[in-house]
Chains A and B, each alone.
Chain A
Amino acid sequence: MSDIAVAPPTSSTPDRVPTDWRTPEMQRRIRRRYGAEQRFRLLGLAAVILSAGFLAVLLVTMVMNGASGFLQTRIALPIDFPSAGLMLDPARLHGPGADLALAGAGIERATDAAAITAFGKDGDKWLSDGAWLNVREAVKRDPAILRGRSIVWVPAADTIDVAAKRQGDPAAEAIVTKLQAAGAISTGFNLPFLTASDSNDPTRAGIWGAFKGSLFTMLVTLLIAFPIGVLSALYLEEYAPRNRWTDLIEVSINNLAAVPSIIFGLLGLAVFLGTFGMPRSASIVGGLTLALMTMPVIVIAGRNAIKAVPPSIRDAALGIGASPIQVVFHHVLPLALPGILTGTIIGMARALGETAPLLMIGMRAFIASPPARLTDPATVLPVQIFLWSDQIDRGFVEKTSAAIIVLLVFLLAMNSFAIYLRNKFETRW
Chain B
Amino acid sequence: MLALFLVIAGLGLIGWLTARLRAVSFRRGSTARFSSLPSHFGGYVALWTVLPAALFLCVWSATSPALVTDRVLHDPAAAQLPPQGFNRAAILSEARSLASGNSFGAFNPLSKKLAPAYAAAQTRNDWIGAAIALLLSFATGGFAYTRVRPDFRARTKIERLMMAGLLAASLIAILTTMGIVASLLFESWRFFNIVPIGDFLFGTHWSPQVIDPADPGKTLGAVPLFWGTFFIGAVIAMLVAIPFGLMSAVYLTQYATPTARRWMKPILEVLAGVPTVVYGYFAALTVAPAVRDFAVSIGITWASSESALAAGLVMGVMIIPFVSSMADDSLAAVPDAMRDGSLAMGATASETIQRVLLPAALPGVVGGVLLAVSRAVGETMIVVMAASGVATLTLNPFASATTVTKQIVDLLTGEAEFDSPKTLAAFALGLTLFIITLLLNIVALTVVKRYREAYE
Contacts and interface: CB of A to CB of B under 8 A. Distances in A.
B38 interface: no
Given A260-B378, A266-B426, A271-B183, A349 B441 contact: no
A150 B23 CA distance: 77
Interface stretch (A48-56, A111-119, A201-209): A48-56
A47 B277 contact: no
B277 to A, nearest CB: 4
Nearest to B284: A389
Given A228-B169, A232-B166, A274 B381 contact: no
Contacts of A266: 180, 183-184, 408, 426-427, 430
B409 interface: yes
B94 interface: no
A341 interface: no
A259 B437 contact: yes
Interface stretch (A31-39, A86-94, A99-107): A31-39
Contacts of A389: 277, 280-281, 284-285, 385
A318 interface: no
A271 B350 contact: no
Interface string B404-420: 01001100110000100
B177 A353 contact: no
A364 to B, nearest CB: 7
Interface string A12-52: 00000000000000000000011011001101111110111
Given A252-B176, A263-B180, A355-B276, A47 B244 contact: yes
Nearest to A293: B176
B211 interface: no
A356 B409 CA distance: 8
Nearest to A361: B412
Contacts, number: 240
A292 interface: yes
A82 interface: no
Contacts of A270: 183-184, 186-187, 427
A356 B405 contact: yes
Interface string A371-414: 00000000000110110010000000100110010011001000
Contacts of B186: 270
A249 interface: yes
A256 B181 CA distance: 11
A1 to B, nearest CB: 22
B284 A356 contact: no
B162 A325 contact: yes
A47 B409 contact: no
B3 interface: no
Contacts of B354: 40
A219 interface: no
Contacts of A364: 413
Interface residues of A, number: 81
A354 interface: yes
Contacts of B350: 36-37, 40-41
Contacts of A234: 166
Given A231-B165, A404-B278, A295 B427 contact: no
B82 interface: no
A139 B143 CA distance: 68
Interface stretch (B4-12, B111-119, B212-220, B245-253): B245-253
B251 A295 contact: no
Interface string B346-357: 001111011000
Give 7 nearest A-B pairs by CB, closest first: A260-B378, A44-B251, A353-B275, A47-B247, A231-B169, A232-B170, A270-B183
Interface of A: 33-34, 36-37, 40-41, 43-48, 50-52, 54-55, 58, 61-62, 65, 227-228, 231-232, 234-236, 239-240, 248-249, 252-256, 258-264, 266-267, 269-271, 274, 292, 295-296, 299, 323-325, 349-350, 352-356, 359-360, 364, 382-383, 385-386, 389, 397, 400-401, 404, 407-408, 411, 415, 419
11 contacts: A37-B348, A40-B349, A55-B270, A61-B282, A228-B169, A236-B170, A259-B438, A263-B378, A323-B155, A382-B381, A408-B274
